[in-house]
Amino acid sequence: MILLTGSNGFLGKYLINNLPAKIVKTLNRSDSDYEVDLSINIPCFTDKFDTVIHNAGKAHIIPKSKEEIAAFYNVNVLGTQNLLKGLSNSLPKCFVFISSVSVYGLIVGENINENCSLLAEDPYGKSKIDAEFVVKKWCEEHNVSCTILRLPLIVGVNPPGNLGSMIQGIKKGYYFNIAGGNAKKSMVLASDIAKFILKAAEVGGTYNLTDGIHPTFNELSKSISRNLDKSFVPNMPLFIANVLAKIGDIVGNTFPINSNKLSKITSTLTFDDSKARIAFGWNPTPILDSFKLHEDA
Per residue in 271-288, pLDDT (tens digit) is 999 999 999 999 999 999
- % of the chain at pLDDT higher than 70: 98
Q: Is the pLDDT of residue 297 over 50?
A: no
Q: What is the mean pLDDT of residues 128-138?
A: 98
CB within 8 A of 175, min separation 6: which ones? 166, 169, 221, 233, 234
pTM of the predicted protein model = 0.93
- % of the chain at pLDDT higher than 90: 74
Q: What is the mean pLDDT of residues 94-121?
A: 97
Cβ(64)–Cβ(41) below 8 Å: no
Name the average pLDDT for the chain.
92
Q: What is the mean pLDDT of residues 205-231?
A: 92
Q: If you compute the radius of gyration of the chain from its CA atoms, what whole number of angstroms results?
A: 20
pLDDT at 204: 97
Per residue in 34-58, pLDDT (tens digit) is 999 999 999 999 999 999 999 999 8
Per residue in 154-199, pLDDT (tens digit) is 999 888 888 888 898 898 888 899 999 999 999 999 999 999 999 9
Q: Which amino acid is at 276?
A: A
What CA–CA distance (Å, rounded) separates 274 from 220? 23
pLDDT at 63: 66
What CA–CA distance (Å, rounded) separates 1 from 22? 8
Q: Which amino acid is at 63?
A: P
Q: What is the mean pLDDT of residues 101-128?
A: 96
Q: Which amino acid is at 287?
A: I
Per residue in 251-275, pLDDT (tens digit) is 887 787 888 888 888 999 999 999 9
What CA–CA distance (Å, rounded) separates 276 from 269? 19
Cβ(132)–Cβ(268) below 8 Å: no
Cβ neighbours of 145 (radius 10 Å): 16
Please provide the size of the chain in residues. 297
